[in-house]
Amino acid sequence: MDNYFKIAVSVDCVIFGFDDNVLKVLLIKCNLPEFANKWSLLGDLVRPEEDLDSASYRILKERTGLDDVYLEQVHTFGALERHPKGRVISTAFYSLVNIKHHQLKLDDNELHWHPVNEISEMAFDHKLILETCYERMQQKIREEPIAFNLIEKKFSLRELQNLYEAILGLKLDRRNFRKKFFLTGLLIDTHELEKDVPHRPGRLYRFNKSKYIKLKKNYFGIDF
């Protein structure tokens, strides 16, 4: 079997954040001369003693200081020439973090939050990995309320709609959006109002996670 230990295994993390009404991704300057001045995803080789999830959590912890984040494995990329130093396959994860929660730890100059829609070139096949993870995430927020991981615990419906619009790249109808969310029964009214906003303060809500978990158990999906 020795002949087969010729492929290295890595993980790459697409770390999404939401800031200033824009969906962003955390990138790092690539230090390989082949990709001078290009940005890359945060990733690392998997250590022999850690599984794939542990490797991703390690990278997230090292780079953002966060250790309780939403993480989902998406796809493994194994093209022959994807890494200039040799054969490396990479399992891609995406993660959703609240930018405000870890801003303090982010004093590493090499790191930068990029607006997802403004990224053209990247190192390796990381543009493809980013796109694949972004598509999966767009699909997922239509099915499950994962977007709440990206914002503060208390939010206005305006903020929530801005978030969905930024992720889906669509303009949504305000009344329809609100109606749909109220119908899910997953919003808890905090009876508080926004503060220090340049518009009429909106009411603040919380996401009813425990109710969602209960509903999910009873969900049978298909409507045949």
Q: Which residues bind its own copies (CB under 8 A)?
A: 1, 3-9, 45-53, 73, 75-76, 78-80, 85-87, 89, 91, 139, 142, 164, 168, 170, 172-173, 176-177, 180, 221-222, 224
Q: Which is nearer to its own copies, 50 or 62 (CB)?
A: 50
Please report how close the Cβ of residue 78 comes to its own copies at its closest, in angstroms: 4
Please report how close the Cβ of residue 42 comes to its own copies at its closest, in angstroms: 17
Please report how close the Cβ of residue 16 comes to its own copies at its closest, in angstroms: 18
Tokens of 140: 């997922």
Q: Which is nearer to its own copies, 7 or 36 (CB)?
A: 7
Q: Which is nearer to its own copies, 22 or 141 (CB)?
A: 141
User: Both ends of the chain: CA-CA distance in Å?
Assistant: 49
Q: Which is nearer to its own copies, 43 or 99 (CB)?
A: 43
How many C-alpha atoms does 162 have within 13 Å on its Cβ side? 13
Please report how close the Cβ of residue 107 comes to its own copies at its closest, in angstroms: 29
Residue 52 CA to residue 46 CA, distance in Å, equals 7
Bridging pattern class, strands 88-96 and 8-19 = parallel
Q: Which is nearer to its own copies, 51 or 62 (CB)?
A: 51
Residue 34 CA to residue 82 CA, distance in Å, equals 12
Please report how close the Cβ of residue 133 comes to its own copies at its closest, in angstroms: 14
Bridging pattern class, strands 22-29 and 39-40 = antiparallel
DSSP calls for 210-222: HHHHHHHHT----
Task: Find, among 91, 4, 79, 103, the residue nearest to 43 by Cα.
Answer: 91
Residue 37 CA to residue 30 CA, distance in Å, equals 7
Please report how close the Cβ of residue 52 comes to its own copies at its closest, in angstroms: 4
Q: Which is nearer to its own copies, 152 or 173 (CB)?
A: 173
Residue 92 CA to residue 13 CA, distance in Å, equals 6
